Structure 1
Amino acid sequence: MTHWDDFRLVLALSRSGSVREAGAMLGVNHSTVSRRLTALSQRVGGAVFERVAGRYQVTALGAPVLEAAEHMEAAFLESERRVRAAQPDMAGAVTLSVPDAISRLLLLEDMSAFARSNPGILLTLKCSYAYADLDRSDADIVIRGASAPDDHLVGRRLFPYALAHYCARDYFDQVAPPDRRWLVRRTPAQWIERSPCPETPVGFVIDDIDMLHEAAARGQGMIRGACYIAESDERLIRIPGSKVEPGEDLWVLTHPDLRNAPRIKAVMGLVTEALTRSRALIERGEIERWRD
C-alpha cells in the first residue's frame, strides 16, 4: 500500500463494521468504500475483510494492515498534541468535553467570562454524554464521571455527584398510587428496590438524561436523577423518604502531552474551581432555594 487513504479505510471499516458507516466516517459514499476495499484486497493479494454475521471483520491477512494503521494514527495524533502543547502562551484552541447538564447549569457563565478575558484562546465546548477519547484528540480536556479513569490520563478527582428520587411537585396529588410509574434510563433498574416506592413498575425508558428529567418535571413519572440537575428545576421535588446516594466521582482530565500547556492548565483550573464552588449541590443535593 502506498496511500494513507488505504489505512484510513481500514481503520474506518474495522471500527464501524459497515461499508455505509465507514463511508460516513470518511466523507464518501458506500460505493466508493466498496471500490477502494476491492482495490486494496487486490494489491495485498487477498481479502483484508470478511463479512461475519452481517458485519465486516478484519481477516488474518488484514490484521497486520490494521495494526500498522493504528500505529500510524497514534503517531499522527501524538505529533498533533505535541505541536499544540508547544504553544508557550495563552493562545490557541482548547476543546472541553463536558456533559450537557454540567455545562448548562454549572459552567456556562464561567466559560463565557473566560472566553471574554482570553480572546487569544478559541474555546470549544462539546456538550455531550458520549465518551471523548483523549488519545484520539476528541477533546483536550474532559469532565467525566467514572470510578477510575484510564491510568495514563492526568488531572484531578473532585467528588462524587449525588443521586436521589424526584417527581413533579403535584405528581403525588394528581396520580393515584396504582397509576404511578418510574421512568428509567435502562432496564433492569435494581435501584427501584431501594427507592421509596419499590413496588411501582417501570413506565418507559428514556436514555437521554436531560429528557428523563424533563419528562419527570412534566408529570410523566418518577425518576432517580442527579441532584444537581433536579434541584435546579423548581418543577421537581424530592420524593418523601428518598435518600441521597453517591454516584460516580467527577474527574477533570487531560492527556499527559498537554498537561503543561498554559491554556490547558488555565481551563482545567477554572473548571475545577467552578465545580468546587457548587460542591454542596453536586455532592449532597443542597441548594439555597424554595422548599416546602
Structure 2
Amino acid sequence: MCNLAPMLNWDDLRIFVAVADTGSLTAASRRLGVDHATVGRRLASLEAELGVRLVDRLPKGTPLTDVGAEFAELARSMADAAERLQRRARDASTSLSGTVTISAPPVLASHFIAGSLGSLRERYPGLAVSLSGDVGLVSLEQRQADIAVRLVRPDHLSHIARAIGAVHLGLYAAPLMAAMPPTDWTFIGYDAALAHVPHHHWFERYAGDRAVVMRSSDVNSQIAAARSGLGVAMLPRFMAAPDPELVPVDPDATPPVRTIWLVTHADIRKSPAVRAVADHLITLFAKAPAFAPD
C-alpha cells in the first residue's frame, strides 16, 4: 500500500489525477489549462518525491503502472475531499468579494454576458468575474467553474439548475441568396463538434439534398459566411435579426428552441458571492426579450 507523505505538493497530485483520468500528458494539459511541459515536469517531480514510477511514458499515451493505479485511487480520494472542503468553505463565506468563475457558451459569453459585467461591478466593487466561453461542459465538481450557463439540462445529483431563458434560432442569408428560389439555396452548417445537438439534426433534415458548402461550430464564422452570400445559416435570432447585412428566410420554419440553464453546485449555492452573480445572470436574461421562453 502506498503512503501519501504529508509534504507532497497538492498541485502535483492534481496534475497526476488529471493524467490518470485522461491517459496522456497532452490531454491532461488541455484539461488543466497548463502547458504540456509543466505537466511532464510536475509528474516527474511527484515520482521523484515518492521514489516510484507512476506511469509508463509511451508514444501514444501514459498508462498507469500497477503502483500508479493504486496511487491514483488514493490521490482521487484526497482531491475529492479537498474540493469538498473548498466548496464548503466557499458556501460558509459571508463576504461579497473574491472571484466568481462563469462558464458559458462562447456566443452568450462574448455577445451578451460580458457586456453586463460593468453594472455588476458597480453594485459589488469587491467582486471579480472570470468569464470563460466553453463549447464543452466544464466540471463544477472540480471547480472549473462556480456557475455554468448551459444549453443542456444537467442530470448530476449535486447540481442545482434553473431555466433562465431560451435561445431562439432562425434561418438567415444575404439578400441575394434569399432572393434565389429555395431549391437553389446552399447552406452553412455545423461541423462534427456539434453533431450531437438537436438543432444540428433539424438543420440537416431541412437542407435535405441541397448542398452544405461550409461547416463550422463558430457562430461568428457562420455569420460572416452568410453575409458574404455563401449560403443560408441557422443563427441565434438575437445576433442575426439586428444585422443589416442579413435577412430572414422561410420565417415559417421552426428550428428547436434551446433552453438556457443556470447551474451551480449544491455545496456553494448559498455563497453570497456566487448568489450575487447568479442573481445578476437570472435578472439579465429575464429582462432581455430576445431570450424570453416560448
Normalised-by-shorter TM-score class:
0.7 to 0.9
- Paired AA for residue 112 in structure 1: G
Report the equivalent of 2:162.
156
Residue 190 of structure 2 is aligned to residue 182 of structure 1: no
TM-score calculated relative to the size of structure 2: 0.79
Question: C-alpha root-mean-square deviation of aligned residues, in Å?
Answer: 3.2
Q: Which residue of 2 aligns with 1:99?
A: 105
Q: Which residue of 1 aligns with 2:236?
A: 226
- Retained in 1: the 8 A contact 2:227–2:246? yes
The C-alpha deviation readout for 1:150-208, integer Å capped at 9, x for no partner, is 231114123442222221233234x787874322222565424542x433111122122
> Is 1:85 matched up with 2:96?
no
Equivalent residues of 2:170, 2:255 under 8 A apart:
yes
Preserved CA contact (<8 Å) 1:182 1:204: yes
Q: Which amino acid aligns with 1:200?
A: R
Using the alignment, how far apart are the partners of 2:19 and 2:112 within structure 1?
39
Q: 1:59 to 1:101 in 2, by over 3 A?
A: same
Q: How high is the TM-score relative to the length of structure 1? A: 0.79
2:16 corresponds in structure 1 to 10
Aligned length: 279
- Which residue pairs with 2:280 in the alignment? 270
Partner secondary structure for residue 95 of structure 1: strand
1:145 partner letter: L
Q: Tell whether the 8 Å contact from 1:162 to 1:244 is kept in structure 2 after alignment.
A: no
CA distance, structure 2, for counterparts of residue 151 and residue 105 of structure 1? 31
| Partner-residue secondary structure (3-state), 1:125 | strand
- 2:153 pairs with 1:147: yes
The letter of the residue matching 2:267 is D
The alignment partner of 2:150 has SS state of: strand
**Can you give the 5+ residue segments of structure 1 that lack an aligned partner in the other structure?**
285-292
| Residue 117 to residue 66, structure 1, CA distance change in 2 (3 Å) | same
Tell me which protein shows more strand as a share of its residues: 1
SS in 1 for 2:141: coil
The verdict on how the C-alpha distance between 1:37 and 1:113 changes in structure 2, with shifts beyond 3 A counting, is closer
Once the two structures are superposed, residues 32-84 of structure 1 have per-residue CA deviations (whole angstroms, 9 ceiling, x without a partner) of 367447647x834xx63346782222244422211111122222222222233
2:19 maps to amino acid: L
CA distance in 1, matches of 2:76, 2:243: 45
Structure 2: which 5+ runs fail to align?
A: none
Aligned equivalent of 2:249, options 224, 228, 239? 239
Structure 1 residues 35, 96: closer, same or farther in 2, change over 3 A? closer
Distance 1:48 1:21 in 2: 17
Contact 1:228 1:282 in 2 (8 A): no
